[in-house]
Amino acid sequence: MEFSRTMRRLDLWSAEGEHADPTVQPIAAVDLGTNNCRLLVARPEGEGFVVIDSFSRIVRLGEGLEATNTLAEPAIQRAIGALRVCARVMARHAVAQARCVATEACRRATNAADFVERARLASGLTLEVLDHEEEARLALLGCLALADRAFDQFLMMDVGGGSTELAWIGRGSGRGHEIVSLSLPLGVVTLAERFGADPDDAGYLAMQAAVWNALDAHPATKRLTAHLAADRLQAIGTSGTVTTLAAMHLHLPRYDRRLVDGIWLPPDAIPGTAVRLRALDTAARALHPCIGPGRADLVVAGCAVVEALHARFPFKALRVADRGLREGILATLIGDRLDSALTRHLQPMQRPFEQVRP
């Protein structure tokens, strides 16, 4: 499949169901993260899908997890409330097939199994707790269409609430693709709880140092950096932090996915935009139309993660993805796979996806 055709297929996300076949039964993806609960409902169409409905609510499931290693009751209630909304939306569209996943907060919490059962009884949705490898696979699948063949190496950065997932792809001469995946146990919620929402310069540097320390402790980092060629490296950023940076860089009066998804963000614009964000206190960020109260106390921590990653992996270009895990889930529901997606977008893949972690 040619790259342009694949781009059109995945860009059906923005069609908002206008050309969807109403006789095809919808599918759905639910992503319950450390910070957000998100839903996409779509109709399969041709080789892709058209999104017909969506829902997103900030639930802070991982609130306090850094200190207690358990999901707090108020956070559980917020998450269950959001999952009930997801279930109602799915029922309204008569969804035929769905995959509902949970990520880092449920991976870490000692009471995650109890929460999953409570959520099932309350909402009817069965949550699958993804491991790091599967989360990286799905996020990469969801945004791989934004890889540009002009580059030889690609770095997907998914800055989540409780963890940061990285997947590096190298196109080797005569040996297909090599993929290195690693997960850092740091996200915007954990860093904000540890260092505060409005850190001073020393606190902001401490956030970055925490990311560098986590990278240094990971056995895959040396392998990744050994292959790194910064002048041939494209980063793909899939997270609320990166999309917020892009919206701020564009000086948008309000967030608009159509203007953000797929744009190229100059790497030298990252520190300047981060400075603008840090100059606002939490209250001012809450009033900003591209940030809002739900991200106001987290976005500075996200900026620290992105800047730290850029310092360690100096990518030449950053493409912004307002897509990722949910789109990857939907792709699997229509029969897509990461290895076949790599074949379409880049070159035939000769090595399996592999995860290296302690």
Instruction: Supply the pLDDT for residue 337.
Output: 76
Architecture field, domain 3-130: 2-Layer Sandwich (3.30)
**Would you say 191 and 167 are in contact if contact means Cβ atoms under 8 Å apart?**
no
Q: What DSSP character marks residue 152?
A: S
H or E segment to which residue 45 belongs:
strand 36-45
Tokens 């990722």 label which residue?
A: 324
Q: Report the distance separating Cα 69 and Cα 79, nearest Å.
A: 17
**Would you say 310 and 228 are in contact if contact means Cβ atoms under 8 Å apart?**
no
H or E segment to which residue 90 belongs:
helix 73-92
pLDDT tens-place values along the chain, 358 residues long: 222 222 223 333 333 444 455 567 999 999 999 999 999 999 998 878 999 999 999 999 999 998 999 999 999 999 999 999 999 999 999 999 999 999 999 999 999 999 999 999 999 999 999 999 899 889 999 999 898 888 888 999 999 999 999 998 877 544 456 788 899 999 999 999 999 999 999 999 999 999 999 999 999 998 888 878 778 889 999 989 999 999 999 999 999 999 999 999 988 899 999 999 999 999 999 999 999 998 999 999 999 999 999 999 998 889 999 999 999 999 999 988 777 777 677 753 333 333 333 3
**Would you say 154 and 313 are in contact if contact means Cβ atoms under 8 Å apart?**
no
Instruction: Supply the pLDDT for residue 299.
Output: 96
Q: Report the distance separating Cα 277 and Cα 245, nearest Å.
A: 9
What top-level class would CATH report for the domain 148-320? alpha beta
Sheet (strand 164-172) strand order: 176-184, 164-172, 153-159, 233-237, 317-320, 264-265
- Of 304, 268, 265, 299, nearest to 282 (Cα)? 299
Query: Facing residues of 44 across strands?
Result: 49
Instruction: Supply the pLDDT for residue 176.
Output: 56
Q: What DSSP character marks residue 85?
A: H
Residues in Cβ contact with 217 at an 8 Å cutoff, skipping those fewer than 6 apart: 358
Instruction: Supply the pLDDT for residue 351.
Output: 39
Q: Report the distance separating Cα 58 and Cα 344, nearest Å.
A: 35
Q: Report the distance separating Cα 291 and Cα 243, nearest Å.
A: 10
Domain 148-320 in the same topology as domain 3-130: yes
The domain ranges of the chain are 3-130, 148-320
